[in-house]
């Protein structure tokens, strides 16, 4: 069983994807971390994220980097959205994500293009939304808890510019798959959002089972 969870920054997709993976006992991949690792490598090697060849050179990042706390920095997310717009960067990370999605037993992946590019054949697709100001409040609180003093206004501006860049790029833009169920978490607690996500997945699985059943 493959579950695709997409959505913009701080919409709650990671929280929901982790909970779905626990619920269905399948592994989870946060694909944003891969783009963040490319971004951090670009930053540390003092490469130029807007130059495709520089960003591609950073795709062979050290696996240990996936556990680096600096991946979660606001600045890393911004650079991630610049490197991720390059088609050759997306191509370099494609097979790894496709393999993870299609492993025996299934998987849950969250990102921007899981339902459209990585696993168009997913059994259930969710597109998670929340208003920009609520997403900025959530991300600001997270950053503060980590001792990062980026202002709320800066976080909101960064979220808006990342939304624009991710939605307008030519390759694998942030758009809901036509068969995705949409879930707005703006006014939902984490528990309520997770319960709704499970109900939406169950509805998708039940519909697929009904369509697959032989008619009598
Ligand atoms: O957690 P948050 O939503 O803030 O960001 P993320 O999922 O870690 O993604 C960071 C950036 O990587 C995004 O703004 C996208 O530009 C890029 N990304 C992508 O292009 N495709 C994905 N499947 C996942 C992330
Ligand atoms: O993965 P994504 O960037 O979309 O968001 P996340 O990491 O799942 O959630 C961002 C922050 O919002 C986390 O601190 C969550 O605990 C919080 N959150 C929330 O307050 N209410 C929700 N319904 C979902 C997430």
Domains with residue ranges and CATH for the chain: 2-212 (3.40.50.300)
Q: What are the backbone angles phi and psi of residue 178, rounded to the nearest 5°?
A: -60, -25
| pLDDT, tens digit, 9 for 90 and up, residues 12-68 | 999 999 999 999 999 999 999 999 999 999 999 999 999 999 999 999 999 999 999
Q: Which ligand is nearest to the CA of 16?
A: 2
* Contact call for residues 165 and 43 (beta carbons, < 8 A): no
CB count in 10 Å sphere of residue 203: 12
Nearest CA to ligand 1 atom 2: 9
Does residue 172 come out as left (phi exceeding 0), alpha (psi in the -120 to 50 range) or beta?
Answer: left
In this predicted structure, what is the pLDDT of residue 216? 64
Give the residue among 37, 2, 3, 9 at the shortest CA–CA distance from 174: 9
| pLDDT, tens digit, 9 for 90 and up, residues 84-130 | 999 999 999 999 999 999 999 999 999 999 999 999 999 999 999 99
Q: Which residue has the tokens 């006014």?
A: 187
Does residue 10 come out as left (phi exceeding 0), alpha (psi in the -120 to 50 range) or beta?
Answer: left
- pLDDT band at residue 214, thresholds of 50, 70 and 90? confident
Highest mean pLDDT among 146-155, 171-180, 183-192: 183-192
Nearest CA to ligand 2 atom 21: 190
Terminal Cα distance for the chain, rounded: 27
In this predicted structure, what is the pLDDT of residue 98? 98
Is 9 annotated in a binding site? The answer is yes
3-state secondary structure of 194: helix
Q: Is the pLDDT of residue 142 over 90?
A: yes
Calculate Rg over the CA atoms of the chain.
17
CB count in 10 Å sphere of residue 73: 19
Q: What is the dihedral of CA 17, 31, 117, 160, to 10 degrees?
A: 90
d(CA 30, CA 19): 12
CA of 12 to the centre of ligand 2 (A): 4
CA of 6 to the centre of ligand 2 (A): 13
pLDDT cut 70: percent of the chain above it: 100
Bridge partner list, 184: 129
Q: Is the pLDDT of residue 134 over 70?
A: yes
């Amino acid at each position: 069983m493959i579950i695709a969870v997409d959505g913009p920054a701080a919409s709650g997709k990671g929280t929901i994807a982790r909970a779905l993976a626990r619920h269905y006992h399948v592994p989870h991949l946060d694909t944003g971390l891969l783009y963040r690792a490319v971004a951090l490598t670009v930053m540390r090697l003092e490469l130029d994220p807007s130059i495709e060849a520089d960003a591609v050179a950073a795709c062979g990042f050290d696996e240990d980097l996936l556990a680096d706390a600096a991946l979660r920095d606001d600045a890393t997310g911004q650079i991630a959205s610049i490197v991720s717009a390059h088609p050759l960067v997306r191509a370099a990370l494609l097979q790894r994500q496709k393999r993870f999605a299609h492993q025996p037993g299934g998987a849950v992946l969250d990102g921007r293009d899981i339902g459209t590019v990585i696993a168009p054949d997913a059994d259930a697709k969710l597109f998670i939304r929340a208003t920009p100001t609520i997403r900025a409040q959530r991300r600001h609180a997270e950053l503060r808890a980590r001792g990062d003093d980026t202002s709320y206004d800066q976080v909101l501006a960064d979220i808006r510019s990342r939304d624009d860049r991710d939605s307008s790029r030519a390759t694998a833009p942030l758009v809901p798959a036509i068969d995705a169920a949409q879930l707005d978490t703006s006014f939902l607690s984490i528990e309520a959002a997770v319960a709704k996500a499970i109900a939406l997945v169950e509805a998708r699985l039940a519909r697929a089972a009904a369509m697959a059943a032989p008619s009598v």
